[in-house]
Each structure stands twice: as structure tokens, then as C-alpha cells.
């Protein structure tokens, strides 16, 4: 297993690039879905101890969608965590339906579906770029502060490691929609990425 | 930065005020669920008392200052004396408070996983409680005087397709079992549900403040 604490510049760059390409594809999907221009921010890769890494997450309530990623042999590769700040998620949903008011059920399943579409394009991109197969699970949905949503996933990962890699990219559109993406890779996926790199 | 934390009370309720450069920036009030003021910085008896104290520290006998605050990150614990203890953004995690009222020594653990660790990692409930207890005793707390309060272990997912996300109730159960095994009396708990929590402990009167992420506040 790779020691996450001692990642070099090169390794971080590859992770960043994976995040970039994945988020780029997701942005294209979002743009088609909303029929609007979508911008992506330069991704940030954070490697840190679990206890500190979530300190700087936004403190407001988000619609959080969590998708587990598997490889072809059904090994868990990691998790995608997509955060929609509440205002943005309402905008996206009402935009898609062309309605101002949506009932809660509709709203929730719409955001889950958007999460689904974004995660699929993210996974496609990483398959194209790195030849790594990532199969997304059906999404799980919660409305709460970002740490409360993600801590059950973190607890799963914490059984193996005290460190976590998180990368954050924000997608935004001219109508002030913001979406944050985080990929939490398990060590298996990480090993695969590093194997890929050695072949380059 | 000039941060002061005040605790004040009157016959109706109690409140904690966080102040920065002599301005009230945040409050936790036991009356906030029934209070007619939305933002808590309107003039009520307690805010007036706090503001008065910031101007003249001798103005009010029913105000106590705390020596800062400590926040336990995911999987760690913090102990201290006369400090405000916090565990923020708890979903499936549990915030466990141990306190010895006789000496004022108290601690908070932010528990991530149920059960015990075989190499001393404090993200596990049993290990965290054991280590925190040891540290508190080293600092001078008396085992026979220590009592516990805890909150957390919710299940925030409305639509769930991953079984592994159901860890909240296991965390809460593991915390409770550990406390019972150690003969630590449980004075209050607030577990389960589907909303995340922030847990804050006020060592002055031994109350645990549970602030739900969606606004509601409990003083236990």
C-alpha cells in the first residue's frame, strides 16, 4: 500500500489531472442538461489526516449525493461525493422542470438523477483517460451539512487508513449554480493509478 | 484575536455568547426554540447582560467567562478545564462528553466507528472513551465523580442505496455499552434521527447543547 503522507508533486499532479478530466466531462453533461455555459474551477487536491480534512468544508446545508465506485471485479474503488449548496440545487431542479415550485419528492429525485448523470460522465472520463473502469452505484441522498453527510463514508474508509485524499472542483454556471465534487479514492484505486503512472 | 466566551443565566434560561473584539458574534441559548427574536442579538435580558459585561466586567454577578474553546476533529478527543468543548458536524458520528463536576475537568470525543481498536486509535468508541478517561484522571479528575452525556449517531440519508452508510445506530450503541461497562452514569443522551448535530459542552453548569444542523437547539 502506498503511503499517502509522502505523495510527490508528480503523483498529486496525476490525481489533479484525473479530477480535472472527470470534472470536465461532468461539466459538459451539466451544460447540456441545463442548456447553459458551465465553468469549472482548477481542481484542488488535498491529502490530509481525516480529523482535519473536513474543517474547511462549507458550513451550510447542502444536498449531498454519494456514489460508491467499483471496479469490474466488484472491489470498492472509492466514493464520489457531490455537494450541491441548497440554493443551487433548487435552481437546478426548477430549471430542469421549468417550474418555480417543486414538491420535495420531485426535487430530491431530480438532484439524485443529476448526481447520477454527473458521476457517470466522471467515471467515463477516468476510463478513457486512465483505462480504469469505475462503475458507479445508485446514488444515496441527504440534505445536511457536508461533514454530517460524509462521515459515514469516512468511517468506512477510516478502518484502513488515517489519511484521505480529497479533490475538490467546483462547477459553476452564469446563473450562480455551484457544485462541488470530491473523490475519495480507496487504496485499491490509488494503487491502480500509480501502476498506470509507472507505465508512462 | 480578542475572543471571549461568556456564559450567562437568569430565571428563564441560559445562554452562551461567543464574542470577538467585544462584539457578540454567536450565541447558543436555551430559549432559542421559543424566542420571538430570530437572530438572538436583539435586546433581551441575557444579551443585555452580556453586552453590559463587555463594557464593564463588574456589572453582573451571573456571568462567567470561559477560557476558550476546543473542538474535537473526526476521530479525536479533547480535554480541558473551564473551556467550551465542541464536536461539530456529526452525522453518523457520536459526540461523547465526560465531565467531573467536582474538579471541572471535562472532555469530548468525536467517535467515528463502533467497537475497540487493537492499536489505540481513538476513532473507535471504546478506545476513545478509555483513553479520554485515563487522560482526565491523570489531569486530576476523580473517577467516581465522572458522568457522561452523548449525542449523535443519526442516519442523514433520505434515499439510501449503500448498506454501509447505516453506521450511526451502531456507533451510538457502542458508546452506550462502553459507558455502562465502565460504570459511568449517563445523565443525558440524544441519538438517532435523521438530522446532523453539533454538540457543545458547557463546563460551567455541565450542560450539553445539541444544535441540530437544521436549527433546533436542545440543552441537556
CB pairs under 8 A between A and B: 114
Answer yes or no: do B189 and B107 share one domain. Answer: yes
User: What would the DSSP string read from start to end of A94-109?
Assistant: HHHHT-S---HHHHHH
Interface test with A, best of B26, B71, B115, B165 (most A CBs within 10 A): B165
Answer yes or no: do B89 and B62 share one domain. Answer: no
Answer yes or no: do B94 and B164 share one domain. Answer: yes
How far A154 CA lies from chain B's nearest CA (Å)?
8
B93 belongs to the catalytic site: yes
Distance CA B217, CA B40 (A): 13
The verdict on a CB contact (< 8 Å) between A148 and B196 is yes
ipTM reported for the complex, 2 dp? 0.81
- Per-residue confidence band for A163, with pLDDT thresholds at 50, 70 and 90: confident
The verdict on a CB contact (< 8 Å) between B93 and A151 is yes
Interface test with B, best of A115, A148, A160 (most B CBs within 10 A): A148
Answer yes or no: do B188 and B129 share one domain. Answer: yes
Starting at the edge strand found earlier in the chain, the sheet holding B63-66 runs B23-29, B14-20, B3-9, B63-66
Answer yes or no: do B172 and B125 share one domain. Answer: yes
Helix (H, G, I), strand (E, B) or coil at A192: helix
Answer yes or no: do B101 and B136 share one domain. Answer: yes
Distance CA A86, CA B50 (A): 34
Instruction: Give me the CATH topology for the region A4-199.
Output: Chemotaxis protein chec (3.40.1550)
pLDDT tens digits along A117-155: 888 888 888 788 777 788 888 889 999 988 888 888 888
The confidence score (pLDDT) of residue A53 equals 67
- Evaluated on CA atoms A133, A136, A137, A143, the torsion sign reads positive
Tell me the pLDDT of chain B averaged across its residues: 87
- Evaluated on CA atoms A154, A160, A163, A169, the torsion sign reads negative
Residue B138: which residues within 8 A CB-CB, separation 6 or more? none
Of the ranges A106-120, B7-21, B172-186, which one carries the lowest mean pLDDT score? Answer: B7-21
Query: Which of A45-49, A189-193, B138-142, B216-220 is modeled with the greatest confidence?
Result: B138-142
Answer yes or no: do B9 and B51 share one domain. Answer: yes
Answer yes or no: do B59 and B166 share one domain. Answer: no
Residues of chain B neighbouring A108 (CB-CB closer than 8 A): 158-159
Answer yes or no: do B91 and B177 share one domain. Answer: yes
pLDDT tens digits along B190-203: 999 999 999 999 99
A52 touches chain B (CB under 8 A): yes
Q: What is the average per-residue pLDDT within B168-179? A: 93
* Residue-range definition of the domain harbouring residue B43: 3-66
Answer yes or no: do B58 and B79 share one domain. Answer: no
The verdict on a CB contact (< 8 Å) between A51 and B76 is yes
Q: In this structure, are residues A146 and B91 in contact, taking their beta carbons and an 8 Å threshold?
A: no
A66 touches chain B (CB under 8 A): yes
Residues of chain A neighbouring B171 (CB-CB closer than 8 A): 155
Query: At B145, which CATH number?
Result: 3.30.1330.200
The verdict on a CB contact (< 8 Å) between A137 and B161 is yes
Q: Which residues of B touch A (CB under 8 A)?
A: 73-76, 88-93, 110, 112-113, 121, 123, 154, 156-162, 164-168, 171, 195-197, 213-214
The verdict on a CB contact (< 8 Å) between A147 and B74 is yes
Element (H, E) at B174: helix B168-181
Of the ranges A40-44, A113-117, B26-30, which one carries the lowest mean pLDDT score? Answer: A40-44
Answer yes or no: do B74 and B105 share one domain. Answer: yes
- Better-scored residue on pLDDT, A73 or B109: B109
Distance CA B156, CA B192 (A): 9
> Domain total for chain B?
2
pLDDT tens digits along A59-114: 788 899 999 888 888 888 888 888 888 888 888 888 888 877 788 888 888 899 88
The confidence score (pLDDT) of residue A1 equals 45
| Helices vs strands, H then E, count in chain B | 3, 15
Answer yes or no: do B144 and B206 share one domain. Answer: yes
Among B40, B66, B92, the domain-final residue is B66
The confidence score (pLDDT) of residue B160 equals 75
Among B22, B45, B66, the domain-final residue is B66
Amino acid at each position: 500500500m502506498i503511503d499517502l503522507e509522502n505523495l510527490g508533486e508528480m503523483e498529486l499532479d496525476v490525481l489533479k489531472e484525473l479530477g480535472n478530466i472527470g470534472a470536465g466531462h461532468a461539466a459538459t453533461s451539466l451544460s447540456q442538461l441545463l442548456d447553459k455555459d458551465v465553468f469549472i474551477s482548477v481542481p484542488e487536491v488535498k491529502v490530509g489526516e481525516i480529523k482535519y480534512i473536513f474543517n474547511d468544508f462549507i458550513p451550510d446545508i447542502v444536498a449531498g449525493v454519494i456514489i460508491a465506485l467499483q471496479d469490474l471485479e466488484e472491489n470498492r474503488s472509492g466514493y464520489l461525493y457531490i455537494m450541491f449548496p441548497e440554493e443551487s440545487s433548487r435552481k437546478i431542479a426548477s430549471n430542469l422542470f421549468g417550474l418555480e415550485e417543486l414538491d420535495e419528492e420531485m426535487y430530491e429525485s431530480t438532484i439524485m438523477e443529476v448526481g447520477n448523470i454527473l458521476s457517470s460522465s466522471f467515471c467515463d472520463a477516468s476510463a478513457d483517460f486512465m483505462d480504469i473502469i469505475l462503475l458507479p452505484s445508485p446514488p444515496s441522498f441527504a440534505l445536511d451539512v457536508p461533514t454530517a453527510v460524509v462521515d459515514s463514508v469516512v468511517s468506512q474508509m477510516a478502518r484502513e487508513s488515517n489519511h484521505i485524499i480529497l479533490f475538490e472542483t467546483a462547477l459553476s454556471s452564469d446563473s450562480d449554480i455551484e457544485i462541488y465534487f470530491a473523490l475519495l479514492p480507496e487504496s485499491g484505486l490509488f494503487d491502480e493509478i500509480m501502476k498506470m503512472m509507472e507505465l508512462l | 484575536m480578542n475572543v471571549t466566551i461568556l456564559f450567562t443565566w437568569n430565571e428563564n434560561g441560559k445562554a452562551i455568547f461567543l464574542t470577538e473584539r467585544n462584539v457578540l458574534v454567536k450565541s447558543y441559548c436555551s430559549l432559542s426554540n421559543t424566542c420571538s427574536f430570530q437572530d438572538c442579538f436583539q435586546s433581551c435580558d441575557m444579551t443585555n447582560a452580556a453586552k453590559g459585561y463587555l463594557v464593564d466586567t463588574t456589572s453582573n454577578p451571573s456571568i462567567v467567562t470561559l477560557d476558550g474553546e476546543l473542538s474535537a476533529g473526526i476521530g479525536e478527543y479533547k480535554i480541558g478545564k473551564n473551556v467550551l468543548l465542541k464536536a461539530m458536524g456529526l452525522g453518523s458520528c457520536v459526540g461523547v462528553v465526560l465531565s467531573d463536576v467536582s474538579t471541572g475537568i471535562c472532555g469530548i470525543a468525536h467517535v467515528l466507528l463502533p467497537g475497540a481498536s487493537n492499536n489505540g486509535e481513538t476513532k473507535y468508541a471504546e478506545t476513545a472513551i478509555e483513553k479520554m478517561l485515563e487522560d482526565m484522571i491523570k489531569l486530576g479528575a476523580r473517577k467516581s465523580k465522572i458522568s457522561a452525556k452523548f449525542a449523535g449517531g443519526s442516519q442523514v440519508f433520505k434515499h439510501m442505496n449503500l448498506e454501509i452508510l447505516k453506521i450511526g445506530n451502531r456507533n451510538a450503541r457502542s458508546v452506550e455499552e462502553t459507558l455502562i461497562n465502565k460504570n459511568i452514569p449517563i445523565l443525558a443522551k440524544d441519538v438517532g434521527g435523521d438530522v446532523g448535530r453539533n454538540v457543545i459542552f458547557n463546563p460551567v453548569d455541565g450542560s450539553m447543547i445539541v444544535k441540530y444542523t437544521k436549527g433546533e437547539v436542545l440543552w441537556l
